[in-house]
């Protein structure tokens, strides 16, 4: 590390906070997501679907009791930072985050998932070239938010550069994404939908939408969620009333000639946690 | 709803199972993902395949303890499962269902059993590590020998060609068309 950039105590605190956030995310599902699964189980009319949701809730209890990851696909770490003006945005800070991920890989433990895209050689520590992705925004506190993202659901995500005249096609694109995905992304899913921005921004918006609490949906989000649930794909693609637990939307302005839309698919194990780093 | 108890090695009892039945599975089961399937084609099946159950799973196993062992997406093994079934494997276990090829390969021979995706901790609490083959493939891709204790599963594809995943996906397609076309 570069001690000229941040002091040793802060570096250690960032390593610890990153490790803690990952551990918390991997073992404890956020209460809003858990409660959405409980409500879905109570509503379900298909016995097979009810059984699947019961297995999921049983799994959450086991993970908490045993202190084990909820899912064996512990994902790749996606990191969101807020940084106050008193902390320099520097290489040492990013190094500390990477070290926290390496520590969590052996401590939690995590499955080593990060490989070279072509040679497929595994780095064995869940960091790699460009991994983790770290999004930085200014804030009043130094916070580390982790969103471990599994591949089953991520692989089903889609992006479309719609025409400005195709605004009415957004629900169709969202539902079509789930139709193509079927049972593969481990439904019931949460869909993060990005609308607007550039080609790259819209995908980031879709992912950031997954950080939003799922206990409320605005009328547009509710409409998208109801449409997806009409497909009847159900938990694990075995049929049922619950295909999506929630749909969350984030928007940005865009070019007058563009309408980018992205759907980031998230399995029921919507893991996220935020830890505040003491300064 | 009645739950049928199954134990490996499996025999002809699997032929009476129907898509949608809830079962529990106990006994020795072998994990295999993409790389393991390719390795077994190249270097042979390292266990007795007759009546065996294959689990599509890349577990986390530390010091001989199953830490997490939920199912992976079975469809990746659509074109890799034939040789195992030809050698007498009776059950494939995973998530998300499998393609038409496998549905036909299972006809009169075996079943596809669905385990709830992501339920790694539930799985870990019902499994014991009993050995490993092809460990050089890495933790996720090796063939792990796991002893199941009443793992709750659903018959996704039966030996008569019934396939819940296929039926659900056909209905979803019709529904989508009625909503948007």
Q: Could you tell me which of A159, A158, A160, A164 has the C-alpha nearest to residue A255?
A: A164
Q: Look at B180 and A172 and tell me if their CB atoms are within 8 Å.
A: yes
Exposure string (b/e) for B84-113, b if CB count within 10 Å is 16 or more? bbeebbbbbbbbbbbbeebbebbeebbbbb
Any chain B CB within 8 A of the CB of A221? no
Query: Is the pLDDT reported for residue A1 higher than 80?
Result: no
Given this model, what pLDDT does residue B140 score? Answer: 86
- Other residues' Cβ atoms within 10 Å of the Cβ of residue A175: 25
Taking the C-alpha atoms of residue A131 and residue A115, their distance in angstroms, rounded to an integer, is 10
Instruction: Quick: pLDDT tens for B25-57.
Output: 999 999 999 999 999 999 999 999 999 999 999
Q: B103 is written with which tokens?
A: 């549905």
Q: Look at A230 and B168 and tell me if their CB atoms are within 8 Å.
A: no
Looking up residue B79, the CATH number of its domain turns out to be: 3.20.130.10
Any chain A CB within 8 A of the CB of B176? yes
Taking the C-alpha atoms of residue A122 and residue A125, their distance in angstroms, rounded to an integer, is 8
Instruction: Quick: pLDDT tens for B49-92.
Output: 999 999 999 888 989 999 888 899 899 999 999 999 999 999 99
Given this model, what pLDDT does residue B60 score? Answer: 84
Task: State the residue for tokens 């607007």.
Answer: A196
Instruction: Quick: pLDDT tens for A248-261.
Output: 999 999 999 999 99
What residues 55-74 of chain A have any CB closer than 8 A to a CB of chain B? 55-56, 58-60, 62-63, 66, 68-74
- Other residues' Cβ atoms within 10 Å of the Cβ of residue A236: 36
Confidence tier at A3 by pLDDT (50, 70, 90):
low
Q: Look at B68 and A55 and tell me if their CB atoms are within 8 Å.
A: no
Any chain A CB within 8 A of the CB of B64? no
Q: Look at A71 and B73 and tell me if their CB atoms are within 8 Å.
A: no
Lowest mean pLDDT across A182-186, A191-195, A273-277, B144-148: A182-186
Mean pLDDT of B113-138: 94
Tell me what percent of the residues of chain B surpass a pLDDT of 90: 89
Give yes or no: B7 in active site: no
Given this model, what pLDDT does residue A104 score? Answer: 98
The DSSP string of chain B is --EEEEESSP-GGGGG--TT-EEEEEEEEEE--HHHHHHHHHH--SS--TT-EEE----EEETTEEEE-PPPBGGGGTTTSHHHHHTT--EEEEBS---HHHHHHHTTT-EEEE--TT-HHHHHHTEEEEEEE-GGG-TTTSEEEEEEEEEEEEEEE-TTS-BHHHHHHHHHHHHHHHHH-
Any chain A CB within 8 A of the CB of B5? no
Q: Look at A71 and B70 and tell me if their CB atoms are within 8 Å.
A: yes
Any chain A CB within 8 A of the CB of B18? no
Task: Indicate the pTM of the whole model.
Answer: 0.92
Report chain A's mean pLDDT, rounded to a whole number. Answer: 96
Given this model, what pLDDT does residue A48 score? Answer: 94
CB within 8 Å of B145: residues ≥ 6 apart: B28, B29, B30, B47, B129, B130, B131, B132, B133
Interface size A-B, in CB pairs within 8 Å, comes to: 160
Q: Answer yes or no: are the C-beta atoms of B158 and B19 closer than 8 Å.
A: yes
Q: Look at B139 and A112 and tell me if their CB atoms are within 8 Å.
A: yes
Q: A30 is written with which tokens?
A: 């956020």
Given this model, what pLDDT does residue A102 score? Answer: 98
Mean pLDDT of A220-236: 98
Q: Could you tell me the residue range of the domain that residue B52 belongs to?
A: 3-180
Beta strand B60-62 with B3-7 is unpaired
Interface confidence: ipTM more than 0.85 = yes
Given this model, what pLDDT does residue A5 score? Answer: 86
Q: Look at B156 and A109 and tell me if their CB atoms are within 8 Å.
A: no
Residues of chain B contacting residue A152, judged by C-beta atoms under 8 Å apart: 72-73, 95-96, 117
Number of structural domains chain B divides into = 1
Between B72, B120, B172, which is nearest A232 by CB?
B172
Mutate to test the interface with B, among A237, A241, A245 (most CBs of B within 10 A): A237
Q: Look at B164 and A238 and tell me if their CB atoms are within 8 Å.
A: yes
Query: Is the pLDDT reported for residue B1 higher than 80?
Result: no
Any chain A CB within 8 A of the CB of B58? yes
Task: Give me the catalytic one of B7, B37, B56, B129.
Answer: B37
Mutate to test the interface with B, among A152, A238, A271 (most CBs of B within 10 A): A238
């Amino acid at each position: 590390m570069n001690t000229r950039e941040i002091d040793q105590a802060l570096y250690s605190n960032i390593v610890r906070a990153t490790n803690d956030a990952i551990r918390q995310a991997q073992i404890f599902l956020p209460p809003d997501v858990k409660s959405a699964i409980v409500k879905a189980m109570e509503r379900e009319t298909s016995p097979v679907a009810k059984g699947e949701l019961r297995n999921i809730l049983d799994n959450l209890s086991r993970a908490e009791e045993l202190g084990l990851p909820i899912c064996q696909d512990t994902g790749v770490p996606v990191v969101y930072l807020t940084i106050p003006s008193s902390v320099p945005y520097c290489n040492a800070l990013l190094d500390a985050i990477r070290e926290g991920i390496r520590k969590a890989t052996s401590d939690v433990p995590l499955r080593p998932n990060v490989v070279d895209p072509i040679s497929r050689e595994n780095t064995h520590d869940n960091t790699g070239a460009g991994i983790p992705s770290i999004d930085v925004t200014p804030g009043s506190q130094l916070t580390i938010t982790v969103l471990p993202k599994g591949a089953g659901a991520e692989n089903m995500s889609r992006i479309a550069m719609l025409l400005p005249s195709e605004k009415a096609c957004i629900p169709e694109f969202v539902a079509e994404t789930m139709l193509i995905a079927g049972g593969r992304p481990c439904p019931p899913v949460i869909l993060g939908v990005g609308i607007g921005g550039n080609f790259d921004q819209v995908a980031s918006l879709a992912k950031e939408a997954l950080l939003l609490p799922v206990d409320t949906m605005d009328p547009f989000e509710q409409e998208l969620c109801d449409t997806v649930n009409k497909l009847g794909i159900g938990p694990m693609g075995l049929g049922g009333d619950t295909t999506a637990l929630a749909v969350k939307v984030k928007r940005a302005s865009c070019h007058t000639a563009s309408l980018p839309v992205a759907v980031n698919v998230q399995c029921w194990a919507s893991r996220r946690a935020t830890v505040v780093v003491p300064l | 709803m009645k739950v049928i108890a199954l134990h490996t090695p499996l025999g002809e009892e699997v032929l009476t199972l129907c898509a949608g039945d809830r079962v529990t599975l106990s006994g020795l089961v072998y994990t295999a993902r993409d790389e393991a399937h390719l390795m077994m084609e190249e270097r042979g099946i390292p266990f007795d395949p007759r009546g065996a159950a294959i689990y599509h799973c890349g577990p986390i196993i530390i010091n001989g303890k199953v830490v997490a062992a939920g199912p992976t997406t079975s469809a990746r093994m659509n074109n890799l499962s034939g040789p195992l079934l030809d050698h007498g494997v009776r059950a494939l276990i995973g998530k998300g269902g499998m393609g038409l090829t496998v549905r036909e390969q299972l006809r009169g021979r075996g079943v596809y059993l669905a385990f709830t995706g992501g339920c790694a901790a539930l799985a870990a609490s019902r499994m014991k590590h009993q050995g490993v083959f092809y460990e050089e493939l890495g933790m996720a891709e090796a063939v792990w020998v796991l002893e199941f204790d009443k793992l709750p599963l659903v018959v996704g594809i039966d030996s008569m060609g019934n396939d819940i995943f296929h039926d659900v996906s056909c209905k979803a397609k019709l529904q989508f068309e009625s909503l948007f076309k």
